[in-house]
A = this chain, B = another copy of it.
């Protein structure tokens, strides 16, 4: 490491984040402000967060010795992604290293079957679900819940729409695809939903917790593309219910740090838990510019057991739109696009992740805020579309 403890002012907390993607990069913004030394275990020497921190050793997060060595030099270990093997994290804990969230919590974000089972135990609202191992299981499940279509998901390893299928029948060819994934498969009710919501909470080791305003998220092809904070028109009792559900899950599972609970607002009025993430989450990026304390700052405060900051929104509406890599060569240089976007909208906040453009890849996001939702949304959408290359004026 370039910075040993002796090189830092007395008491400087050292946080080791496993994974060097944009979440680690955005965490660095707030680490720098708070005087926290953030180190990332990077997938390669030039990944997103490695460009932004002083110490970013390259190593494989599946290799016990690499992770042990990295962890030994930090006050606390936390994550940019949820893929570190649970057993390895148990080993670190046994060796006295603070792992936050710990493996007993994290497993619920790693394994959807474990998550469903655990949430059922305290009656958290969820779509009907069942682990399936055969076409017969699938047929039985569909029969039990009133028929097809149903959702099939890999219990581990899925993200951004990967590892999720809609089956129209037990004979649907996607069933073969799902079983070919070679991990247990979870069948779920295909919820008839009005929209998707996300409840983000932060929780610290001694149990302090804060809940961000409930947001609406729009997904396309399984990728989050747009988030509006707060969710427009959501009844206050529903918003409170969603926050309480997330706070309950954080407590029951012993989460430390950020917990994101993605939910369906079903047409019949139910709020159903869809997915969990235990790290800063795409549906919380609005909070960097839109909340008193960003999800990244509260994640750092939580894992260091510092008092949490206010999650209150700073503006009536904040809209975040992801910038995805375009298909067009002309969008490869993101910074060229800035000239237009920043000139058009002096209030726009642009975030670029230091990632090369590939079609559909999340390379940044833009945020707008203000009093008028239509205006705020138009500003954010326009800038993202321009940077992505889907519009050219």
Contact = CB atoms under 8 A, between A and B. Distances in A.
Interface of A: 2-3, 7-13, 25-26, 28-30, 32-35, 37, 45-46, 50-54, 56, 210, 288, 292-293, 301, 306-310, 312, 314, 332-336, 338-339, 342-343, 346-357, 363-364
Contacts of A45: 2, 7
Contact of A342 (B301, B342, B354): B301
Contacts of A30: 29
A156 B336 CA distance: 40
Contacts of A310: 346-347
A348 B307 CA distance: 11
A201 B307 CA distance: 36
Contact of A32 (B8, B28, B35, B356): B28
Given A32-B29, A33-B29, A51-B37, A354 B306 contact: no
Nearest to A49: B32
**Interface-centre pick from A25, A30, A342 (highest chain B CB count, 10 A):** A342
Contact of A11 (B9, B51, B293, B336): B336
**Interface-centre pick from A12, A35, A293 (highest chain B CB count, 10 A):** A35
B37 A32 contact: no
Given A11-B336, A35-B353, 19 more contacts: A3-B46, A7-B51, A8-B46, A9-B363, A10-B332, A10-B333, A11-B333, A29-B32, A32-B32, A32-B52, A34-B338, A35-B352, A35-B364, A50-B54, A54-B56, A210-B346, A293-B346, A306-B338, A309-B342
Given A3-B51, A54-B53, A334 B11 contact: yes
Nearest to A28: B32
Contact of A357 (B10, B306, B354, B364): B10
Contacts of A25: 32
B334 A35 contact: yes
A68 to B, nearest CB: 24
Given A12-B335, A32-B52, A35-B352, A346 B307 contact: yes
Contact of A10 (B54, B307, B356): B356
Nearest to A208: B343
A332 B33 contact: no
A106 to B, nearest CB: 25
Contacts of A3: 46, 51
Nearest to A309: B346
Contacts of A334: 9-11, 35
Contact of A54 (B26, B51, B349): B51
**Interface-centre pick from A7, A9, A354, A357 (highest chain B CB count, 10 A):** A9
Contact of A306 (B53, B339, B356): B339
A46 B7 contact: yes
Contacts of A7: 45-46, 51
Contacts of A51: 3, 7-8, 37, 54
13 contacts: A8-B46, A9-B363, A10-B333, A13-B335, A26-B32, A28-B52, A29-B29, A35-B364, A210-B346, A306-B338, A306-B342, A307-B343, A307-B346
